[in-house]
Amino acid sequence: MSELYKVTESLMISNVRAACKKDLLMEEGVTCCINVSRRQPFPDLHLRTLRIPVFDHPLQNLSDYFDQCVELIDSTIKSGGKCLVYCKHGRSRSATICIAYLIKHRNMSLKDAFQMVKAVRPSIEPNEGFWSQLESYEKSLQLNH
């Protein structure tokens, strides 16, 4: 069982420990890492990287970063790459970003996107603040369609 959990063929989620295993990332063909934390390290590889400096706290505004993250995931995949999204434990922040991507670029409902990520990584649990931000994001995308 890989420590990088495949949400889609080109989108993975993990905790920081797995994200910093160079061999694992190279084996899986990861070309881009989104690190959703203030302090966790990046893997020591020449990859495209993005840090989203938020704590796993319900009052943190993660939704400000949704579009930036989902567009980076989308452009990585469209260019033939693979994206890994991670945070310290791979449960709340990284899951929230993966769910936001599925809502926007796979046209999924929040419920279906959550179930899809949960199916590959059962330990995910976006905190209640992030969940309500995802609900708002889903509504805003529906209004724009």
The answer to whether 121 and 13 are in contact (CB under 8 A) is yes
User: Do 37 and 88 touch, CB atoms closer than 8 A?
Assistant: yes
Backbone φ and ψ for 60, nearest 5 degrees, come out as -70, 140
Helix (H), strand (E) counts: the chain:
6, 5
Told to judge if 87 belongs to the known catalytic residues of this protein, a careful annotator would answer: yes
Element (H, E) at 86: strand 83-87
Phi, psi of 139 (to 5 degrees): -60, -45
Give me the catalytic one of 20, 83, 87, 98: 87
Burial class (CB in 10 A: 0-12, 13-18, 19+), 121: buried
**Which residue has tokens 């890989």?**
2
Q: Which residues are catalytic?
A: 87
